[in-house]
């Protein structure tokens, strides 16, 4: 019996020795679409040679901690402990942060282990020259190619190209590239501008109010190099923020990163392909594991940036496909009738061919001719019924999709005129803050004094500009944790989490004074009245809003251009129905 146990142990031990161990370091998290697509391609190629249990994946989340040295040291200690007993045969890294981490710590944590990298922007030639067993694929950039593309596509429509970047390490790298390109920029009618110090709200306001050139169409075009954080430290989400930018932008926006940007409203550009990066990187790793010397590879393999465009945006900005570079990839083309019903057409064609053969065979048999004709007629009727049913089903599906799209559009949280949160979104925030165990918060209901006179004297266009000015001024003045909503007409609701009444009054007074002392041509002056209430004074959201409304009315009755905190005396006032 003991010899049988020993044999089983040997069998299990032999199966556990099997394949190589691979460690995959990712600079970013999997919510970043470039990393997600790149990883999927790497894992797909590796799956043929590497068992699932021998593949270890780490996401370093460097978009949020790109310049945090302490974070990098903490990661080093974590991986030192985690992989002290588990030694990979090869390491694959994606992105600049992961490679720089390995350049610094590889020989301490994974001494001598080969590293295959991809997605690299920075020139690390000098650092890599001092190390052995590093090889990979540069991600590079295509700023110059995209600038040339934009000038050719919009040569008669724009007078400025704005390259968007930020103050991260990668953003500074791209900003330096643009600065170098500006030195040699000699276009006679198009200016090249670098913009890397802005908040998301400022950028959204800018693209929505892009001034048009007198004789050159939209006047501006944008190129996204990298956007990680704005100057307020707000994390930039491609998936959530790019659609908002492109939706309100009056100018075309281009980019270089295919998967994270394509389909989110950008026109396109010379773009890289993370899937191709991933497949090539994984294949190099497999070749090294199979015995190929790492020195036989070029240390920095150049990437490809290929022209890729969104057909919907081409139509939006009146761009012709014939004007695009050769072999351009056109995404989101309208579905053709054949592609839409391809399966049904193939099935029908196959059935018709089969029926034709049957008819030819039956024609030789006169005695069974009538039965065959009856069968053919029945089959044709069945086919027509199938086609009719499928057509009706597709039409119903299309109608359902249109209704859903319309409903989603109506549920948008942004006020179209002022581009701040709307009343629906404000209610959602109040619901979230109003849990019994939640922190204290205050609200301020703001109303523009004599706004009807502005519309009557200057027209509704000026009135709209006043609303936009008020909302933009307040939005720029308040804290990142506060929210300003357009509550209706000329009323705004300011929600201030974790704010006592006295602090809410101070904030409201500063806003009131700022607006009262800022001229808005052609209106001589604008003042506001404000009613303030706090969660501690009420038992429900409706009561909280009612108190703020009564305080606002009290501010109006006392002469306007003032801020009033609700008190029990306010309940003695009866606000008119209007």
Peptide bond into 561 cis (omega under 30): no
User: 3-state SS of 348-397?
Assistant: HHHHHHHHHHHHHHHHCCHHHHHHHHHHHHHHHHHHHHHHHHHHHHHHHH
Cβ contacts of 440 within 8 Å, gap of 6 or more: 498, 499, 500, 534, 535, 536
Cβ proximity of 81 and 94 under 8 Å:
no
Active site residue 139: no
CB 564 within 8 A of CB 530: yes
CA–CA distance, 263 with 397 (Å, rounded to integer): 22
Read off the tokens for 101. Answer: 């981490």
Q: C-alpha angle 123/225/59, rounded to 5°?
A: 70
Angle between helices 460-477 and 451-458 (to 10 degrees): 140
CA dist 451 → 420, 464, 471, 501, 514 (Å) = 19, 10, 14, 27, 17
First to last CA, the chain: 94
From the candidates 176, 490, 502, 543, which is the catalytic residue? 490
Residue 270 in 3-state DSSP?
strand
Side-chain-facing half-sphere of 236: CA atoms under 13 Å:
28
Q: How far apart are CA 98 and CA 75, in angstroms?
A: 11
The CA distance from 503 to 442, in Å, is: 9
> Looking at the annotation, which residues are catalytic?
490
């Amino acid at each position: 019996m003991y010899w049988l146990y020993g044999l089983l142990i040997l069998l299990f031990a032999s199966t556990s020795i099997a394949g190589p161990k691979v460690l995959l370091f990712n600079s970013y998290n999997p919510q970043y679409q470039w990393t997600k697509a790149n990883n999927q391609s790497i894992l797909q190629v590796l799956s043929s040679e590497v068992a699932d249990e021998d593949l270890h994946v780490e996401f370093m989340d460097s978009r949020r901690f790109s310049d945090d040295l302490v974070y990098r040291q903490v990661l080093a200690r974590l991986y030192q402990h985690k992989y002290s007993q588990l030694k990979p045969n090869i390491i694959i890294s994606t992105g600049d942060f992961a490679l720089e981490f390995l350049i610094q710590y590889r020989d301490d944590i994974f001494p001598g282990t080969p590293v295959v990298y991809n997605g690299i922007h920075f020139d690390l030639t000098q650092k890599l020259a001092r190390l052995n067993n590093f090889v990979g694929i540069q991600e590079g950039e295509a700023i110059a190619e995209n600038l040339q593309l934009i000038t050719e596509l919009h040569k008669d429509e724009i007078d400025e190209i704005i390259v968007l970047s930020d103050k991260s390490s990668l953003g500074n790298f791209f900003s330096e590239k643009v600065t170098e390109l500006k030195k040699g920029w000699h276009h006679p009618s198009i200016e090249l501008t670098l913009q890397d110090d802005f908040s998301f709200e400022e950028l959204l306001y800018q693209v929505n109010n892009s001034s048009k050139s007198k004789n050159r169409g939209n006047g501006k075009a944008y190129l996204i190099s990298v956007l990680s954080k704005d100057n307020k430290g707000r994390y930039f989400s491609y998936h959530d923020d790019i659609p908002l930018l492109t939706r309100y932008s009056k100018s075309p926006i281009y980019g270089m990163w295919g998967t994270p940007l394509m389909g989110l409203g950008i026109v396109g550009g010379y773009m890289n392909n993370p899937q191709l990066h991933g497949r090539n990187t994984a294949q190099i790793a497999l070749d090294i594991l199979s015995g190929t010397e790492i020195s036989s590879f070029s240390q920095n393999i150049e990437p490809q940036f290929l022209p890729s465009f969104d057909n919907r945006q081409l139509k939006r900005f009146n761009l012709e496909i014939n004007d695009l570079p050769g072999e351009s990839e056109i995404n989101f083309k309208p579905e053709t009738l054949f592609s839409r019903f391809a399966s049904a057409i193939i099935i029908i064609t196959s059935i018709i061919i089969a029926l034709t053969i049957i008819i030819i065979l039956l024609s030789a048999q006169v005695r069974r001719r009538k039965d065959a004709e009856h069968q053919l007629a029945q089959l044709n009727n069945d086919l027509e019924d199938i086609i009719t049913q499928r057509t009706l089903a597709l039409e119903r599906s299309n109608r359902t999709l249109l209704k859903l799209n319309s409903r989603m559009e109506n549920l948008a949280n942004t006020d179209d005129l002022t581009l701040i949160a709307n009343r629906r979104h404000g209610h959602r925030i109040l619901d979230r803050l109003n849990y019994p165990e939640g922190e204290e918060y205050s609200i301020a209901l703001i109303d523009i004094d004599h706004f009807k006179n502005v519309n009557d004297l200057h027209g509704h266009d000026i009135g709209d500009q006043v609303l936009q000015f008020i909302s933009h001024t307040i939005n720029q003045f308040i804290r990142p944790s506060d929210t300003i909503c357009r509550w209706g007409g000329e009323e705004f609701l300011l929600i201030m989490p974790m704010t006592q009444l006295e602090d809410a009054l101070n904030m409201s007074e500063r806003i009131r004074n700022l607006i009262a002392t800022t001229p808005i041509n052609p209106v001589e002056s604008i003042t506001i009245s404000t009613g303030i209430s706090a969660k501690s004074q009420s038992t429900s959201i409706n009561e909280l809003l009612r108190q703020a409304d009564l305080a606002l009315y009290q501010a109006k009755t006392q002469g306007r251009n003032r801020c009033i905190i609700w008190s029990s005396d306010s309940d003695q006032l009866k606000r008119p129905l209007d």
